[in-house]
Amino acid sequence: MNVGVIGGSGYVGGELVRLLLFHPDVTLNYVGSRQYAGEFVYRIHPNLRGLTKLTFEKVDFKIITDKTDLVFTAVPHGSAMDIVPDLLSSGLKVIDLSADYRLKNPDDYIVWYGFEHKNPNLLEKSVYGLPELFRDEIRKSNFITNPGCTATATSLALAPIIKAFDVDASKIVVDVKIGSSGSGFNANLMSIHSERTHVVRAYKPIGHRHTAEVEQIIKTYSTKNAKISMSVHAVDMVRGILSTNHIFLNSDNITQADVWKIYRNVYGNEPFIRLIADKKGLYRLPDPKIVTGTNYCDIGFAYDKRTNRLVVLAAIDNLMKGAAGQAIQNMNIMLGVSETAGLLFSGFHPI
């Protein structure tokens, strides 16, 4: 299978290139970039120096269709709307990492992204690429919309609990901490070192775009309507997300064992979900530091019986399980190869 990446110069594009170069079942032979066409890929992604002689190529549909069978689109929000229809009509498999096809209701794009969707007919054709919840649909699809990073961590934490238990679905509070790479490759005043270092900055206390995504996932998976109150903080790390989710239960008969049973039933055989709740050691609950560079999502919880509050924590690397790693996982499912191919490795410790 010949694969390509459109938008290979960003952080997510660079991670896709890194992973695909060493994937046992595919050949990466196209990396597209309008800005850097003609430059060696390793000039923008220096970690790949000595590992590839690929150069960035212009974004030309004839080149793309001649060289690839499957393509990843890692382009800014709003851009994929113009690119994806032509790729699909040419017969290519597509995994889109933008937000352009994640929401099923076209009206939601006006509310959350501020633009009118150009191809609303394709929204129902895209399959949401969260393997742990929608694997069967992914397997049958040629068009995957890859989840957002915050939506991935939050949805994996919340969905099984909301489906299984009687919860106050109108009051689910989500507190997210995210590293600087979540802002993307292009610098702005908020991302320069002197402004970004040593901060815990509430940059989106309300109205984060991934709120709509999480609510949609929960409704699809559990059939329940949930209202998510999400606040997102920029913190002083480069990679990683910690999503802390507060769920208020309507019954006081729930035990810790009941919660464990739900998560084990849903995620017990998942290769990239680790359930964390150690009584010893430094890392007793999920921590983004431990999943850095991996495709794992670590999930743990604590139950406050006094207030009937279940606190669920999920940690991921926003560039891996939150983007490129999950896209590769989706590709593996689509192609029918081992789901862990090119992804089964640990992170670094210490880092």
Residue-wise pLDDT tens digits, 247-273: 999 988 899 999 999 999 999 999 999
Contacting residues for 192 by C-beta, under 8 A, at least 6 apart = none
pTM over 0.85: yes
Q: Strand 297-304 relative to strand 273-275: parallel, antiparallel, unpaired?
A: parallel
Residue 344: is its pLDDT beyond 80?
Answer: yes
If 0-12 CB within 10 Å is exposed, 13-18 middle and 19+ buried, where does residue 145 land? buried
pLDDT of residue 185: 67
Residue 187: is its pLDDT beyond 70?
Answer: no
Classify domain 150-316 by CATH architecture.
Answer: 2-Layer Sandwich (3.30)
Task: Quote the CA–CA distance of 137 and 134 in Å, as a whole number.
Answer: 6
Active site residue 297: no
Range 2-146+323-335 has CATH code 3.40.50.880: no
For 199, the 3-state DSSP assignment is: coil
Determine the Cα angle at 211 with ends 210 and 216, to 5°. 95
pLDDT of residue 280: 87
Sign of CA dihedral 5, 9, 12, 15: positive
Count the Cβ atoms, other than its own, within 10 Å of residue 251: 10
**Span 266-275, pLDDT tens digits:** 999 999 999 9
Task: Quote the CA–CA distance of 102 and 210 in Å, as a whole number.
Answer: 10
When pLDDT is averaged across residues 25-41 and rounded to a whole number, the result is: 97
Instruction: Give the containing element (helix H, strand E) for 90.
Output: none
Over the range 162-201, which residues count as b (16 or more CB within 10 Å of their CB) and which as e? Answer: bbbbebebeebebbbbbbbbbbeeeeeeebeeeebeeeee
Residues carrying CATH 3.30.360.10, the chain: 150-316
50, 94, 89: which is closest to 68 by C-alpha?
A: 94
Q: Are 218 and 158 in contact (CB under 8 A)?
A: yes
High-pLDDT (> 90) share of the chain, %: 90
Sign of CA dihedral 287, 290, 291, 292: positive
Average pLDDT, the chain: 95
Q: Which of 64, 149, 169, 226 is catalytic?
A: 149
If 0-12 CB within 10 Å is exposed, 13-18 middle and 19+ buried, where does residue 280 land? exposed
**Span 55-96, pLDDT tens digits:** 999 999 999 999 999 999 999 888 999 999 999 999 999 999
DSSP-assigned letter for residue 128: E
Contacts of 62-69 spanning 24+ positions with Cβ under 8 A: 63/30, 64/4, 64/6, 64/30, 64/32, 64/92, 65/90, 65/91, 65/92, 67/2, 67/4, 67/29, 67/30, 68/2, 68/3, 68/4, 68/29, 68/30, 68/92, 69/1, 69/2, 69/3, 69/93
The strand ranges marked E within 17-65 are 27-32
Distances (CA, A) of 105 to 123, 124, 136, 155: 8, 9, 22, 19
When pLDDT is averaged across residues 341-347 and rounded to a whole number, the result is: 96
**Span 96-130, pLDDT tens digits:** 999 999 999 999 999 999 999 999 999 999 999 99
Residues carrying CATH 3.40.50.720, the chain: 2-146+323-335
